[in-house]
Structure 1
Amino acid sequence: MKQINKYISELLREVDCVIIPGLGAFVANPESAAVDTRQHTFSPPYKDIGFNKNINRNDGLLADRIAEREQISFEQANANIHALVKDCIQRLQNGQQIIFDGIGALSVDSARNIQFKPDESTNFLSDSFGLDSFHSPAIKRQSFEKRVEQEIIERSPIPIEKSTVPGKGSVIPLRVYYSAAASVLLIAACSWLYINLDMIKGVDLNYSDLNPFARLDSGTYIQRIDKTAEVGPEEGTDAIQEWLDNVPEETKEVVAEVEEVVKATVVKRFHVIGGCFEIKSNADRLQRKLKRAGFDSGFVGKNRRGLYRVSFGSYETRAEARKALRKIKRNNMKSAWLYVGKK
């Protein structure tokens, strides 16, 4: 019994149905991981083991495993299974319980039907090896209002405590005193603004002017300068041409070199790809062919599989690249495609 029980457990880890000929079959149904929100438990994926008495035809799987492990013939293994089944049926008819270690227990109810109770301590799903159920205490979350209030209390430079007014038994929070002090300052500021109302009439008022402790600098008159000069079109053109004629040749050469450097540093992110090759010589062959055809062909790095990308040409904008791609598909290569490089 113990040896056959061990072979059944082994097979349940490998397959989803193990038949005991003449008795029934243990059926394994894979189940996903589960979370019990009421008990706060987490369960890994597992195989839910059931028993079906109607699946009892011999498929040879269990007998083959027994014959292989015990080095006996297939017929002898079937004979051992038949003896086990005969003993199990006799015990069930006598009202006894049959226990398969690590799998479950078989019994007969009052209606003479076979009942199966699985052993939930064993997980037959190989992918969940090493994983176990665990319990996590409930997370006590603090409301947003409570968190804001606690944050204000912790960051307050003056502790918000309660104070007792002398001569009275009532307890008044200190924040009441802070509010009264702020009100007094506000009334004082409004009074100053009302007294100095004449000062702010007819002038541009900034927020800094409301500061009663700021110094008032006397205004300084700055004469307005008319920068518009009457220059005739011919005079202006002659002046520009004269300035260009006086630019040294060395400066013109430097400007030309800078323009070339700027043109060279323009990033062309949009490439029309003609093919990708694992062998470098094949990529070189396509590049030379495209150059002979008049294209500004080049290599555009490697893709994730290490293949060399060969392009018909590279372009600064997507619009230019799409226009060139349409023309190449129409006249040269229908399999060409657009690759956008990184910025």
Structure 2
Amino acid sequence: MQLENYIKDLLYRYECVIVPEFGAFLTQRVSATINAGTNTFYPPKKAISFNEQIQQNDGLLAHYIADVEKIPFEIALEKIKKRVASIKSQLVEKEYISLENIGQIALNEDGKIIFEPFNNLNYLTDAFGLNQMVSPAITRETYKREIESIEEVIPLRITEEKRKSKPYFRYAAAAVLALGVSGFLGSKYYVNEIESHNQIAQESANTQLEHKIQEATFVIENPLPAVNLIVTKPVGSYHIIAGAFRVEENCDKVISNLKADGFNARKIGVNKYGLHQVVYDSYANREDAFKALNEIRNNYNPDAWVLVKNLD
């Protein structure tokens, strides 16, 4: 069985693909980057990593294999177990093992699995069709303006005779300056008057309000007893996703149905694709979350999955 092909298919859709008794392949979105040294533009992608500590079966991989090969869930689990045993035995004999379109794995000196991802395949569906691009370097020239050379070509000179022949320029400049000063002083006086008026009006309004408050009396003959409400806020960073919807009204219908089935369903906001997410419930403990996930997949929704995220 080519286990790599099934893992590859799931990496397009999910952020975590667990191989039971082996480890988990994790994906994380990486923004577009530019290599200034080579003038290369890289599109956004999903960076793949491997965590050997996550080995507990969440049923995702086995369910997918069972659906594709049309076999029972237990047989799919047995196939995964055999393939994992084969990979572990090969790791002991070989220097490394290559997983097609995913990466290569090897054992370090302590017998732990180390993983080096391949970059030949982009698992981010948003970046479909985008390839890396190399752009030629852009050369820029700085032009200096030589004032001296411009003056040599077009000399600007005002002779004494011309200034004397047109004295009205001097009077016009003086008039413009006088108008500017008077306008500035007048506008400043006008602004000060407005501020003074607003302050007086505000003080008067505050005084009237204080008198009305002091004169008012409130008598309640039969006061109602105080009611204390205790609101429990869902906590936990493990959320079992029931679905994601473009129209928010559809979320309310799904939540009503799930609550009728006994789930603590709710909305947890909008994801990066603009879809409103609905969860069956949230859990603080990872084991409780995946235990509930297996029960939901077996009895309600085989496409349910776990989102690991801290919500504000």
TM-score, normalised to structure 1, is: 0.44
Q: Which has the larger radius of gyration?
A: 1
TM-score, normalised to structure 2, is: 0.48
